[in-house]
Amino acid sequence: MSRVICISSQKGGVGKTTTTVNLSTALALAERSCLVVDFDPQGHATQGLRAIHRCGKETLWQAMTGKTSIREAIVPTSLKFLHLLPSSRELLKAEAALQRMGAKEKRLSTLLSGLRSEYDFILIDTPPALSLLTVNGLVAADSLMIPLQCEFYALMGLRHYLRFVAVLKEHLHQTLQLEGLLLSMLRERVRCHPIVDKIRSGFGENVFRTAIPWDWDILDSAAHGKPLLLQDVRSTSSRLYLELAGEITNGRKRTGSCEDFDFAAAARVTGSGTAREECFSTRV
Ligand SMILES: Nc1ncnc2c1ncn2[C@@H]1O[C@H](COP(=O)(O)OP(=O)(O)OP(=O)(O)O)[C@@H](O)[C@H]1O
Ligand SMILES: [Mg+2]
């Protein structure tokens, strides 16, 4: 059975898509079969893989509306172990269309259930919004990975997002786990900032050991429609994505809190006044 990971955050531009594209590639290079579900109408994951995926006739949207089967919509890539469910602009209609469908929060979960035996990992890239698409992504997943930039607004946004996930977990998906927080787009000057220590000490094992730096090569690879790992496998960030894949496949040393993560309790302490003051009392 596959592990379905939803890569999500309400905040835009934090590295959700970049993580999806490069982590899935790292897993595929390690010969773990992986399906990327581009569940964002922006279609950035589809674009980020455009140099390596084959074009198909059907899309995820068509599968969602029952016009085709989910299998018909999957396209292969030049990597044997990596497949893609591409997005399209039509997915914009999904928000309204889902409102009219029965079990509107479980549509994606139902579609993916038939594929779970075929992949080791299914990674879902979601839009930067607390929308029905995001809800579907989370309900379809076993766990949630949250890319996080180390900055003031990010911490406040995380508090809000954790509250949202807590409510979703209570009402729609009681077994949703936290896969982990991923420190992403880390700038050189922030690396030793107290906020990094605070996040690591506050969330403990729930933060991946691997952190992804801000790296021009990552930005550049997106412009070429290729995962960085296929552009330059020996680059520092490629190595880090392989390490991140290792953390996921080997199972990080966990305290057990990840498996039954209390999103509501975490929201109460994240970005609270005291934490904010402590984190930002030192200038970066
Ligand atoms: N580590 C990094 N170093 C430099 N640039 C990065 C890094 N990670 C992502 N980027 C760039 O930052 C921008 C935002 O990244 P990305 O699209 O992955 O974020 P996102 O959270 O998926 O955004 P959205 O919320 O719009 O879906 C992109 O141009 C991407 O190429
Ligand atoms: Mg994105």
284 residues of the chain, pLDDT tens digit each = 899 999 999 999 999 999 999 999 999 999 999 999 999 999 999 999 999 988 888 888 888 888 899 999 999 999 999 999 999 888 888 888 888 888 899 999 999 999 999 999 999 999 999 999 999 999 999 999 999 988 878 888 899 999 999 999 999 999 999 999 999 998 877 666 777 888 888 899 999 999 999 999 999 999 999 999 999 999 999 999 999 999 999 875 444 445 688 999 888 878 665 555 554 443 32
What is the CB < 6 Å shell around ligand 1?
Answer: 12-18, 40, 42, 44, 128, 184-185, 212, 214-215, 218-219, 222
pLDDT at residue 273, rounded to an integer: 57
Total residue length of the chain:
284
3-class secondary structure, 34:
strand
Domain count, the chain: 1
Tell me the pTM. 0.93
pLDDT at residue 117, rounded to an integer: 96
Ligand 1: centre distance to CA 16 (Å) = 7
| CATH number for position 130 | 3.40.50.300
List strands edge to edge, sheet with 177-183: 75-76, 82-85, 34-38, 121-125, 3-7, 143-148, 177-183
pLDDT at residue 259, rounded to an integer: 60
Give the number of the ligand closest to the Cα of residue 23. 1
Question: Which atom belonging to ligand 1 lies closest to the Cα atom of 237?
Answer: 1
Helices (H), the chain: 16-29, 44-48, 60-64, 70-73, 94-100, 107-113, 132-140, 152-171, 194-203, 216-223, 228-231, 236-250, 263-269, 273-280
Ligand 2: centre distance to CA 15 (Å) = 7
Ligand 1: centre distance to CA 20 (Å) = 10
Q: Which of 191, 219, 235, 238 to mutate to test the pocket of ligand 1 (most atoms within 8 A of CB)?
A: 219
Give the number of the ligand closest to the Cα of residue 21. 1
pLDDT at residue 36, rounded to an integer: 98
Q: Which of 8, 17, 36 to mutate to test the pocket of ligand 1 (most atoms within 8 A of CB)?
A: 17
Ligand 2: centre distance to CA 128 (Å) = 7
pLDDT at residue 193, rounded to an integer: 73
Ligand 1: centre distance to CA 148 (Å) = 11
pLDDT at residue 283, rounded to an integer: 36
Q: Which of 7, 8, 18 to mutate to test the pocket of ligand 1 (most atoms within 8 A of CB)?
A: 18
DSSP letter for each residue of 133-163 = HHHHHHHH-SEEEEEE-SSHHHHHHHHHHHH
Give the domain range for residue 9.
3-280
3-class secondary structure, 11:
coil
Ligand 1: centre distance to CA 10 (Å) = 14
Ligand 2: centre distance to CA 26 (Å) = 18
